[in-house]
Amino acid sequence: MSETIVSALAPANDPTFENVWDEIVWRGLVHVSTDQEALRALLSGGPITYYCGFDPTAPSLHLGNLVQLLLLRRLQLAGHKPLGLVGGSTGLIGDPRPSSERTLNTKDTVAEWVGYLRAQVERFLSFEGDNAARMVNNLDWTAPMSAIDFLREIGKHYRVGTMLKKDAVAARLNSDAGISYTEFSYQILQGMDFLELHRQYDCVLQTGGSDQWGNLTSGTDLIHRVEGVSAHAIGTPLITNTDGTKFGKSEGNAIWLDAAMCSPYRMYQFWLNTDDADVIARLKVFTFLTRAEIEEYERAVADEPFRRAAQKRLALEVTTLVHGREATGAAAAASDALFGRGELASLDAQTLRAALEELPNATVTAGTSVVQALVDTGLVTSLGEARRAIAQGGVVLDGAKVDDDATSIAGSLPGGVSVLRRGKKTLAGVFLAS
């Protein structure tokens, strides 16, 4: 397995590309940008300073943010100097959502989340060498500024007509909710961030999601107007599934980068379940596999899709990037054991419990019969159906076939849990009430 995940442990750009711009274009990471020829020349030359911002509107980043984190890393591997910005001030407001006003979090909450996000961003960058990364917080230059100074020094450079045309603003103006001045002003704050970083660090490039394009160009326009020089922006595509659904962030079920909010097992399974039609694009965006390796997996998907080799590699690579080798190994072992390709008893209790929480599950008292547990977990709809399934030899408890419908749940696996299986692939977890 160590050979399988070596690229996740030691990420590197593909040397077969002439420059990093060509590679990120091939990987599908450029949906919209400022002048492409200028960007190609800029990224092919000497080191530049660039940045991406992350707002603490939640206690963790999610898979959408991972696109930006890996783009930051790719550009750093090419010799450029990253600035990771965590928005202590913009996080107090939140960028406009398409449908409704955000709930404003307290200053203490935002400050706490700034620390969490900073630690997550730092894991993906190198803070050593000539192009060492730096972390910045926009509260440092926003907090000391008075409202009058903000309006005089920054606000005077913005035209309301132009601001109204920004997609995020226009969508809200046409909705029943409208938009507050607070969220309307967000694009000015983000533009000021780029100007400040340009002045402090000679930062000339900002990256972000394409849905943030209005905010990205707010900064490039401001720098051009105030400083009389060109700055650049890259908007990455919004990742969606082939059926058009939003990727990795369904309502109440986001794939977070914090292991406490989304277990390594759940993340591993998320990638393992990638559709054949999506998996090659995911390998390009979310892994450091070379073009030759990805093309090999593309052939495997076409010729032997049942082996799901591309999905397995994707799950190993990304989970290792986010959670490390040990947690990924445990998640992979749990996945194999649950589906009969390993020993359940050999799993560690924490990983097994996390895996079972992702399955249909029930909490029962000690001594509950397997028959009742089958009903409680939803594997069958009645006690009679449970007894018939046992009689037909189709029920497995903790890896052993159940022959007697009087068998009870013992919680014999690590952590005092049990695994029920009906047929070959229908699984459920059973927890014993304490």
pLDDT in the model for residue 249:
58
pLDDT in tens, 167-220: 889 888 888 889 999 999 999 999 999 999 999 999 999 999 999 999 999 999
The mean pLDDT of 272-286, rounded to a whole number, is 96
Q: Which domains does the chain have, with CATH numbers?
A: 29-236 (3.40.50.620), 240-356 (1.10.240.10), 359-434 (3.10.290.10)
With bands split at pLDDT 50, 70 and 90, how would you rate the model's confidence at 301? very high
**Distance from C-alpha of 194 to C-alpha of 216, rounded to nearest angstrom:** 9
Q: What is the mean pLDDT of residues 291-318?
A: 97
Task: Check residue 240 and give its pLDDT.
Answer: 82
Q: Tell me how far CA of residue 114 lies from CA of 81, 181, 318, in angstroms.
A: 22, 24, 24
pLDDT at residue 3 tops 50: no
Distance CA 7, CA 238 (A): 25
Q: How many CB atoms neighbour CB 404 within 10 A? A: 10
Please, which residues bridge with residue 363 across strands?
431
Describe the crossing of helices 264-272 and 325-338 by its angle, rounded to 10 degrees. Answer: 60
pLDDT digits (tens, 9 = 90+) for 74-100: 999 999 999 999 999 999 998 888 778
144 φ/ψ angles, rounded to the nearest 5 degrees: -75, -10
Among 278, 203, 197, 205, residue whose Cα is nearest residue 235: 205
- Note the pLDDT tens digit of each residue in 350-403: 999 999 999 999 999 989 999 999 999 999 999 999 999 999 999 999 999 999
pLDDT for 2 equals 36
pLDDT score at 241 = 74
Average pLDDT, the chain: 93
Predicted confidence at residue 407, as pLDDT, reads: 95
Q: Which two tokens stand for residue 433?
A: 């009430």
pLDDT of residue 1: 32
What pLDDT score does 4 carry?
A: 45
Q: Is 207 exposed, middle or buried (0-12, 13-18, 19+ CB in 10 A)?
A: buried
Residues listed for the chain: 434
Q: What percent of the chain has pLDDT over 90?
A: 85
pLDDT for the residue 248: 64
Plot region of 79 (φ>0 → left; ψ -120 to 50 → alpha; else → beta): left
